[in-house]
Homo-oligomer: A and B are copies of this chain.
């Protein structure tokens, strides 16, 4: 029987799929039940995979011949992903991308709130909390992270500065880093880095495109 209290073993790949299920389920929230084969068909996945993934997060499982209760499943996934208790994060590097993320409302939906940003450029720093998020100079980083017990850091600095910033974050108590710089970051084993690398994505696209155009010529 499914157990509400223990965190089930879930593969990293399955974890990456959970937000897809969530976004899909929210689109069809007005219905009551959904079956694994139906989800699989709509999302282009295998139905056994869907059942396995859902088994890892579902509090009650599905019912044969009926499927899973949609609203319950949404709650279960949100709970599993920690979207129910908002976590605070800080951002380093207020360039174009950093600024866009800083003012992006959507993070709240994922259980993350950026409470402050940091940058070396004095022109960007501001200490008034009016409607904008505050931007501090780098030397305030450690103190703020430690006092506010922040565990999540977002890096949007140029790749050349990324490792230095990363070291700064780690020594300030950050345990999870979302890395938008293309650089590889070395961190202690207790810290996790998730790379959001546009370059890698483009590499896949570009390679596919070339093969497509080549095939056309054969």
Contact = CB atoms under 8 A, between A and B. Distances in A.
A27 B159 CA distance: 10
A148 interface: no
A205 interface: yes
A31 interface: no
Given A18-B203, A87-B209, 11 more contacts: A12-B204, A15-B207, A17-B200, A20-B184, A23-B199, A43-B184, A83-B206, A110-B198, A176-B209, A192-B209, A194-B205
Given A15-B204, A205-B178, A210 B23 contact: no
Given A19-B200, A152-B205, A212 B175 contact: yes
A208 interface: yes
Given A23-B159, A175-B212, A212-B175, A205 B192 contact: yes
A140 to B, nearest CB: 23
Nearest to A82: B206
Contacts of A42: 184
Nearest to A162: B23
A127 interface: no
Nearest to A102: B96
Interface residues of A, number: 68
Q: How many monomers of this protein are in the complex?
A: 2
Interface string A7-34: 1001010011111101110010000000
14 contacts: A7-B210, A16-B200, A22-B199, A24-B184, A82-B210, A87-B206, A97-B101, A109-B199, A110-B199, A112-B202, A175-B208, A176-B208, A192-B209, A194-B202
B43 A203 contact: no
A45 to B, nearest CB: 9
A56 to B, nearest CB: 11
A46 interface: no
B103 A19 contact: no
A167 interface: no
Contacts of A82: 206-207, 209-210
